[in-house]
Amino acid sequence: MEFISVVVAAVASYAFGAVWYMALAKPWMAAAGVSEEQMNNGDKAPFIIAFVCAILVAGMMRHIFALAGIDTIGKGLIAGLGMGLFISTPWLATCYSFGNRPRKLIAIDGGYATIGSAIMGLVLTLF
C-alpha cells in the first residue's frame, strides 16, 4: 500500500505543477529567460525527470512520515508544507541567488515546491 500512496502523491503533486506552471507560464518564462520556442521543442525529458523526481520526493516523505509518526491528514499537510517552505524553497533560493536568477523565479518555483510538498503530505496520509 505504501508504494501506491507514493505514486498517487507524486501524481497529485505533478498534476498541481501542471496547473501551477500553465497559470504562471508567461511570468515563469520571462523570469527563467526561456522562450516559447524553447518550451515547445518537443523534448519530453523535463517532464519525465519531473515525474521521477516527484516519485523520489514522495517516497522519502513517506519514509520520514513513518519515522516521525505523521499519520493524520492535518499532520501530513503541515509537515509537507513545512518541508516545502523550510527545506526545498531555501535550497532553491540559495542556488538561484548565487546564479543571479530573478526573485520572481524563486517565488514561482518556491511556491510550487511548497504547495506541491503540502499536497504530497496530505495525499500520503490518506492511505
Sketch the domain layout of the chain as residue ranges.
2-30+45-124
Per-residue pLDDT of the chain (127 residues; tens, 9 = 90+): 699 999 999 999 999 999 999 999 999 999 999 999 999 999 999 999 999 999 999 999 999 999 999 999 999 999 999 999 999 999 999 999 999 999 999 999 999 999 999 999 999 999 8
Which of 66, 57, 55 has the alpha carbon at shortest distance from 113? 57
The alpha carbons of the chain give a radius of gyration, in whole angstroms, of: 15
- Please state whether the predicted TM-score (pTM) of the whole model is above 0.75: yes
- Compute the Cα dihedral for 89, 46, 18, 57 and give only its sign: negative
